Amino acid sequence: MSGPAVPESDMSGNVFDKAQARAALDAAEQARTAGRRTAGRWARRYLLGFGAVSAGSVLAVWTVSAWVSSAWWGVWYALLVGLFAFWLRRQPVRAIPRRVQLVTILAWSVVFGLTMAVGIDYPLAYPIGAAAGFSVWAAAAWWVGR
């Protein structure tokens, strides 16, 4: 094997080159920093993407609510939540803290529930709810990215 010669020590045999050790630690720190940045970008994209899809689907409900039953929308949202839950479980790094996830999901659920409840009688609630729902996800993306 050809490699750097390791100096031998009379005391323990565990002598190492301090410059190599520092270089290895610096490389590990750079890798950790790059990993955190990549995970943060992924998390922001995920949260903004989910916000856009959920806002778009609320607007779709507003557009076709006269022709589609509410039961169909319940199935659609159950499938949508399942899809995103699966996608989130497959994330390469746990980039979104669990508390942020929980608070975001609960806040969005309240906005979504109010939008759907009020939207039946006041259709203008749908675009307002879409914007408010997207804002919840955007706030979470900001929180993760700060």
pLDDT band at 80 (very low <50, low <70, confident <90, very high): confident
Look at 129 and 22; give whichever has higher pLDDT: 129
Place of tokens 């940045």: 37
Q: Is 13 left (phi over 0), alpha (psi -120 to 50) or beta?
A: left
* Average pLDDT rounded to a whole number, residues 40-62: 87
Please say if the pLDDT value at position 7 is more than 80: no
Please say if the pLDDT value at position 48 is more than 70: yes
Please say if the pLDDT value at position 31 is more than 80: no
* Average pLDDT rounded to a whole number, residues 95-119: 84
Choice among 47-56, 65-74, 132-141 with the minimum mean pLDDT: 65-74
Please say if the pLDDT value at position 114 is more than 70: yes
Q: Burial of 130 by CB count in 10 Å (0-12 exposed, 13-18 middle, 19+ buried)?
A: buried
pLDDT band at 10 (very low <50, low <70, confident <90, very high): very low
